[in-house]
Structure 1
Amino acid sequence: MIKLFHVSDVHFGAEDPAAIAWFARLVAAERPDAVIMTGDLTMRATRREFQAGGDWLRSLGVPVTLEVGNHDIPYYWDPFRRLFAPYQRYAAIEEMIEEPLDIPGVTIVPLKTTARAQWRWNWSKGRVSRGALHKALAMIAAAPAGNLIFVAAHHPLIDGPTTGTARTRHGDAALTELAAAGAHAVLSGHVHDPFDVPVERGGWTIRMIGAGTLSKRTRHSPPAFNEIRIEGGRFDTLARTMDDAPKYSISETRGAGGKRGHTT
């Protein structure tokens, strides 16, 4: 069995020390094949926060893939850096942390959903550019036939069952194109509450899977992350929380005839 830990919104600078220690203990005890971090490693994208977050990720001792969140680019009060070098600090940590993931039967595809500026007041919300989507679709097309395809993004592409919202521009259209390309799930964060819901697009079921938070900025759920268990071409998700009994959300994916199968 392959085991992935999907974590998001740790928000170093507003992290919950007990939650990040709890997560680290579980990584050490259970040794997942990889940790998928879907953004907001930091609170205000400062050098100190990135250093602390990077040190924590390195200390886990397992392969890590890292996506960028809206809190990982400089705030409005640093307009020069936000407009002209928004991903500089994040990229330095990503380069230091990431290594190529070699997970049999699984392909992780990054999809950037952040923007340095938008034509609306709230720049924290999501946006999928054509360029970002094209890169993701090209990676899906290049993936080995029969692989499970997990797209890793920060913002949910469409709003789900949580009270927090992403309002991701072009997210609905992106979800349709990702489903048509054969993606099985979109892993995300941002809303700080876990969820796992199927979405039907053109006869294909793609799952929207959101992780909770390991920060002090909890909403309706206690600190949480997702465990994804993969076996025999199928995957199940488990939302693991610090103080409640684990909550299971079951999904299956089968591949047949060398083609990516529908979720059942």
Structure 2
Amino acid sequence: MPRLFHISDVHFGCEDVQALQWVKDRIAAEKPDAVALTGDLTMRARHREFRAACEWISSLAAPVTVEVGNHDLPYFNLIERFVAPYHRIRGIERLVERELDLPGVALVPLKTTARAQWRLNWSLGYVGPRALAKTLRAIDELPERQLVLVTAHHPLVEANTRGKALTKGGERALAALARAGVTAVLSGHVHDPFDLVKETANGPIRMIGAGTLSLRIRSTPPSFNELTIEGGVVKVRVRTFGEDIPTPEMQVSAVPQNADQRPGEPVAPVSATP
């Protein structure tokens, strides 16, 4: 029964030090099969922020795959943003957009960030044709009967959270992933957890979002998702840091078929005390 910790938006430079230590300790103690970090490692892509992020990620006692978020592209050095946008992540370069194969489960990355867009807000999501084609090729090369999870930074469509992604090309990408047999897309960006099923032209596909481990909280406190895969079903448990939250307050409405929850019933959070 593979078990995965899905974390996101650690935002070094505005990180929650205690929450990060809590997650690091949980990984060491519980030994998940892998950790998926879906972007926004830093606050402003500064060198010192990346050094801290790379040091923390390298210290995790599990295999890690890392997506790049919009906050991880250089903000102030436009030459570097366009010529060498990932130069500052070289400390963990081998982990960036890394495919992971677990027993019966594959994690495949999908790039949703862009160096520039034809709109003023470059922080919003974008799935270009080349990025989607690369992900679909990787999926096509996987063994048959393998459950596929795609990792991305931005939700491909809106998830009824306070934060918005407004991902260009997201609807098309989600439909293509559904046609390819992807079970779920894991993402971050909006700083609140969610778990829902999206209907596409090619059938339903699940979207699972992780919260933040930074001080930039929105509707929920720092948290991460614990995913377990059993009998072809992905079960999600939201693990929150520091306080109990009434279930209706969680930004989650889980409707996966055969899951423990009834359609529309929120996933109950699990609290942790520092």
Q: Same fold (TM over 0.5)?
A: yes
What is the distance in 2 between the residues matched to 1:69 and 1:32?
23
Is the counterpart of residue 173 in structure 1 residue 178 in structure 2? no
1:251 partner letter? P
Per the alignment, do residues 96 and 240 of structure 1 end up closer, same or farther by CA in structure 2, a change over 3 Å counting? closer
| Gapped regions of structure 1 (runs ≥ 5) | 255-264
Instruction: Give 4+ residue runs of structure 1 displaced > 4 Å after superposition.
Output: 96-100, 245-250
Equivalences for residues 52-67 of structure 1 within 5 A: 52-67=52-67
* Matching residue of 1:71: 71
What is the distance in 2 between the residues matched to 1:206 and 1:98?
21
What is the distance in 2 between the residues matched to 1:82 and 1:246?
42
Indicate conservation of the 8 Å contact 2:54/2:89, yes or no: no
Indicate conservation of the 8 Å contact 2:228/2:235, yes or no: yes
Residue 250 of structure 1 and its aligned partner are, at CA, apart by 6.7
Equivalences for residues 8-19 of structure 1 within 5 A: 8-19=8-19
Is the counterpart of residue 24 in structure 1 residue 24 in structure 2? yes
* Matching residue of 1:232: 231
Indicate conservation of the 8 Å contact 1:238/1:246, yes or no: no
Per the alignment, do residues 105 and 214 of structure 1 end up closer, same or farther by CA in structure 2, a change over 3 Å counting? same
Q: Secondary structure at the match of 1:57?
A: helix
What is the distance in 1 between the residues matched to 2:5 and 2:105?
14
Is the counterpart of residue 212 in structure 1 residue 211 in structure 2? yes
Residue 71 of structure 1 and its aligned partner are, at CA, apart by 0.6
Per the alignment, do residues 40 and 231 of structure 1 end up closer, same or farther by CA in structure 2, a change over 3 Å counting? same
* Matching residue of 2:112: 113
Alignment length, in residue pairs?
A: 253
1:19 partner letter? A
What is the distance in 2 between the residues matched to 1:58 and 1:88?
17
What is the distance in 2 between the residues matched to 1:142 and 1:100?
12
Is the counterpart of residue 5 in structure 1 residue 5 in structure 2? yes
Residue 251 of structure 1 and its aligned partner are, at CA, apart by 3.3
Q: Percent identity?
A: 55
Q: Secondary structure at the match of 2:156?
A: coil
Equivalences for residues 147-158 of structure 1 within 5 A: 147-158=146-157
What is the distance in 2 between the residues matched to 1:34 and 1:197?
22
Residue 89 of structure 1 and its aligned partner are, at CA, apart by 1.7
Residue 144 of structure 1 and its aligned partner are, at CA, apart by 1.3
Q: Secondary structure at the match of 2:234?
A: strand
* Matching residue of 2:271: none
Per the alignment, do residues 8 and 235 of structure 1 end up closer, same or farther by CA in structure 2, a change over 3 Å counting? same
Residue 97 of structure 1 and its aligned partner are, at CA, apart by 7.5
What is the distance in 2 between the residues matched to 1:59 and 1:252?
36
* Matching residue of 2:264: none
2:173 partner letter? A
Residue 177 of structure 1 and its aligned partner are, at CA, apart by 0.7
Residue 222 of structure 1 and its aligned partner are, at CA, apart by 0.3
* Matching residue of 2:187: 188
Indicate conservation of the 8 Å contact 1:9/1:190, yes or no: yes
Q: What are the Cα deviations for residues 193-242 of structure 1, in whole angstroms up to 9, with x where unaligned?
A: 00000012246321111000000000000001111001122211111111
Is the counterpart of residue 46 in structure 1 residue 51 in structure 2? no
TM-score (norm 2): 0.87
Per the alignment, do residues 139 and 99 of structure 1 end up closer, same or farther by CA in structure 2, a change over 3 Å counting? closer
Q: What is the RMSD computed on CA atoms of the aligned residues?
A: 2.0
* Matching residue of 2:200: 201
2:40 partner letter? D
What is the distance in 2 between the residues matched to 1:4 and 1:24?
14
Q: Secondary structure at the match of 1:37?
A: strand
* Matching residue of 1:128: 127
